Amino acid sequence: MSTVCAKRRFECWRTARGRGYAGRDVGTARSRIRRRQLAAIVLVVCVITPVFNVLTSEASLKSAIQGLVDGVIIPLLVAGYLMFVRDGALRTWFRGLGFWTDLALSSAIVLTLFLVGRAAGQVITSGEPRRFVTSFTDAHLTYAVPFFAVFALAIQFVLQMNRMIGANVLGYFAAGVYHRPKAEERIFLFLDLEGSTQLAERLGSAGYFELLRRFVDDLTEPVLEAEGEIYQYAGDEIVITWPIETGARAANCVRCFFAIRAAVERGRSRYEHDFGAVPRFRGGLHGGTVTAGELGDLRQQIVFVGDILNTAARLEEYAKRMGLDLVASGALLDRLALPPGVEVKHCGDLAIRGKEARVAAYALSHRSLD
């Protein structure tokens, strides 16, 4: 059975790399984010490592320079592997491993990269190739290995937290942006898969979950390109949000929806091969003032509350009921300059449940995707 599972994981990884959109590390927005993160890590380590070397080896310029060289080479190797290989090109394969297998394998690779990077640094500063081998017996490793273990753990912790709660969200928590509730203008895009009940019955819960996970992977790059944030996953519903200025700029919030449609369409053959169906989804789009703040004790998160979210959700329900791609409020469209190819049709003034005033609604479609 383990052989079959391993083969299945390999086939999924090979398919994702060969034909998928999100399975490859080719996304420009994702790559830009990772490059910025890598540059930040290198900068921090280049500041810390020379000081560490001076304190634990010898108080000399040579020791500080060695620390600076190591501070460039080692994080480039280690963080580069974690970002671009483990969480990049081989992400699908690593995801199929068990927790302890993943931890043991990644730890061994990271430790090897550290030793190789340190050895390379010794060769560069000394000009002696033999230092590549003799560096593995240095007494200073007694200090360097524990220091590196803390450094590697910190990198993995930050990267994992970014993936779990979102890079922007981690920054909000660290800066205390929403420690006290505050009002702000935001745009919300609600997405909901069409025919999810029938898909779940046909594929089974495990198969449907794999389709949902593939769909979420495929929408990641378009969301990043449109400068959006994933606010929450709620079953087969995904909520994306922007600060009003960001979402309105170049109609990012509208472009995001149709970019997701295009990404799914590019993966059509892969979806049909693996699931016998291509996911279709509808969207509701609205913006305005919400109240944002940190909420929870046992599990803390940043929460947005207000009528804006209710309206966006109801517009998405209307789109689903009427078979429309995307329905947006007139109040939001007034603030957008729509991109070429997007067609707008007035749906009328809708009565929204829980809201006294009617909402002007417009159906948006894209000619190239029809």
Neighbours of 263 (CB within 10 A): 22
144, 118 contact by CB (below 8 A):
yes
CA dist., res. 230 & res. 235, Å (int): 14
Give the mean model confidence (pLDDT) for residues 83-91.
83
Instruction: Check pLDDT > 90 for residue 12.
Output: no
In sequence order, the β-bridge partners of residue 294 are 302
CATH number at residue 229: 3.30.70.1230
pLDDT band at 1 (very low <50, low <70, confident <90, very high): very low
- 112-165 pLDDT, tens digit per residue, is 999 999 999 999 999 999 999 999 999 999 999 998 888 788 777 777 776 666
pTM of the model: 0.73
At residue 7, the pLDDT reads: 38
- The range of the structural domain enclosing residue 331 comes to 174-369
Q: Are residues 149 and 265 in the same domain?
A: no
Domain count of the fold of the chain:
2
pLDDT band at 167 (very low <50, low <70, confident <90, very high): low
Nearest to 92 by CA among 102, 78, 80, 107: 102
Q: Are residues 34 and 65 in the same domain?
A: yes
Give the single-character DSSP code of 332.
Answer: H
At residue 164, the pLDDT reads: 66
Q: Are residues 250 and 283 in the same domain?
A: yes
Instruction: Check pLDDT > 90 for residue 169.
Output: no
Domain boundary (130, 165, 200) is at 165
